[in-house]
């Protein structure tokens, strides 16, 4: 059996506040096999971006980060800023929600595509890197790539910019590509095109993919495995088809219902499905199950932390419902 590309155990991230530490991630485990595509899903504030940024060493300096085990590609210490910066743009590449965060308005697209390759291929000639950049830009669906290389980011539409950022990520031939809400800023048609590009590239890429999204639909299009996060903890994991067909954790069930049912609610003129209540305050996370206050199935045992019920083949969920009384 091959070693996982990424293996994180017991990741905690907190920030000091005047009221005490704000616990953003609690005992998060994450394993990504080489070439695998894993999706992280959860509502806003569940800690998805925090996890992605922790892997890149991009959390703010005041973040307190600890993990019992953290290995990327056989190397320990991946979560430290110094180690991660050595990996960024070489072994791990990132596509953010807003492509402008990765693009400098003062530089041409060609300059971006050349510069991104310099760390990985320090000895290569500029003309070589330019030609390679142009090829990959065409590959991600930017027509007339030769001319577009000499244009500036503001001359591109949102969808085209996201294609440029995807091209930048591909040019470094990373071992892992992290995409955090890669289509949220795009309208539905362009979103579908960007998803198609990512899906096509999946079959060509040897890189592992970690996709962060609030949408099960996007994860299902791109990934084999899904991790459902709530309030900084993992509540369910498994093959994406199985979790969609039969979510076991009440939060995963509720999240899926919110995504699937809006259209039928509109048709029937019923109120939209929502999950009642709010995410617990990170400074005062409950000792027991983090979802209990909003859970329709809660009972006395939920005041204690639920066990993670492993069902084999990566499938599992963290809920007392899985334990016989
Ligand atoms: N620098 C920080 N200091 C304190 N709290 C922070 C900081 N950054 C993020 N948080 C908190 O961490 C929690 C998780 O945030 P995060 O951005 O990881 O969520 P997310 O799941 O990516 O949400 P979204 O879907 O909205 O992008 C939020 O409650 C947020 O307020
Ligand atoms: Mg986020």
Mean pLDDT of 42-49: 92
- Closest to 13 measured CA to CA, from 73, 75, 79: 79
pLDDT digits (tens, 9 = 90+) for 236-245: 999 999 999 9
pLDDT digits (tens, 9 = 90+) for 53-64: 999 888 999 999
Query: Ligand 1 mean position to 21 CA, how many Å?
Result: 14
Q: Which of 46, 219, 285 to mutate to test the pocket of ligand 1 (most atoms within 8 A of CB)?
A: 46
Mean pLDDT of 157-163: 89
Asked whether this chain's domains 6-91+174-322 and 92-173 adopt the same fold, the reply is yes
> What residues have their beta carbon closer than 5 A to ion ligand 2?
49
In 77-151, DSSP assigns E strands to 92-95
Domain residue spans in the chain?
6-91+174-322, 92-173
pLDDT-based confidence at residue 264 (cuts at 50, 70, 90): low
Mean pLDDT of 199-224: 88
Predicted confidence at residue 227, as pLDDT, reads: 97
Atom of ligand 1 nearest to the CA of 17: 4
Residues with CB under 6 A from ligand 1: 15, 22, 24, 42, 44-50, 60, 214, 282
Residues of the chain with pLDDT > 90, as a percent, come to 62
Mean pLDDT of 155-184: 90
Structure tokens at 219: 């994860």
Mean pLDDT of 248-271: 78
Q: Is the pLDDT score of 24 beyond 90?
A: yes
pLDDT-based confidence at residue 89 (cuts at 50, 70, 90): confident
Q: Is the pLDDT score of 272 beyond 70?
A: no
Q: Is the pLDDT score of 65 beyond 80?
A: yes
Question: Would you identify the CATH topology of the domain 6-91+174-322?
Answer: Rossmann fold (3.40.50)
Answer whether 317's CB lies under 8 Å from 295's CB. no
Which range (49-53, 58-62, 81-85, 131-135) has the least confidence?
A: 81-85
Q: Report the distance separating Cα 284 and Cα 265, nearest Å.
A: 34
Predicted confidence at residue 13, as pLDDT, reads: 97
What's the CATH code, domain 92-173? 3.40.50.300
Q: Report the distance separating Cα 79 and Cα 56, nearest Å.
A: 7
Q: What is the pTM of this model?
A: 0.91
Mean pLDDT of 121-128: 94
């Amino acid at each position: 059996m091959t070693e996982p590309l990424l293996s994180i155990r017991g990741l905690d991230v907190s920030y000091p506040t005047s009221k005490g530490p704000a616990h953003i991630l609690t005992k998060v485990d994450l394993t990504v096999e080489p070439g695998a595509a894993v999706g992280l899903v959860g509502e806003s504030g569940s800690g998805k971006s925090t996890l992605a940024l922790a892997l890149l060493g991009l959390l703010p300096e005041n973040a307190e980060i600890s993990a019992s085990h953290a290995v990327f590609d056989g190397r320990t210490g991946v979560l430290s800023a110094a180690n991660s910066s050595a990996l960024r743009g070489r072994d791990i590449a990132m596509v953010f929600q807003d492509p402008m965060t990765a693009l400098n308005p003062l530089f041409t697209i060609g300059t971006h595509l050349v510069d991104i390759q310099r760390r990985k291929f320090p000895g290569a000639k500029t003309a070589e890197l330019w030609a390679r950049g142009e090829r990959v830009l065409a590959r991600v669906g930017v027509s007339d790539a030769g001319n577009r290389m000499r244009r500036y980011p503001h001359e591109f539409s949102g969808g085209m910019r996201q294609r440029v950022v995807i091209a930048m990520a591909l040019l470094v031939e990373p071992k892992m590509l992290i995409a955090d809400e890669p289509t949220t800023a795009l309208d539905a048609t362009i979103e579908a095109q960007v998803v198609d590009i990512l899906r096509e590239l999946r079959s060509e890429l040897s890189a592992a993919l970690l996709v962060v999204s609030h949408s099960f639909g996007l994860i299902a299009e791109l990934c084999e495995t899904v991790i459902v996060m709530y309030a900084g903890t993992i509540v369910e994991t498994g093959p994406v088809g199985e979790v969609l067909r039969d979510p076991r954790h009440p939060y995963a069930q509720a999240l899926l219902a919110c995504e699937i049912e809006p259209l039928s609610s509109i048709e029937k003129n019923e109120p939209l499905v929502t999950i009642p209540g709010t995410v617990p305050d990170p400074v005062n996370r409950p000792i027991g199950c983090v979802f209990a206050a909003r859970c329709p199935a809660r009972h006395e045992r939920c005041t204690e932390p639920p066990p993670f019920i492993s069902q084999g083949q990566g499938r599992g969920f963290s809920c007392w419902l899985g334990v016989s009384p």
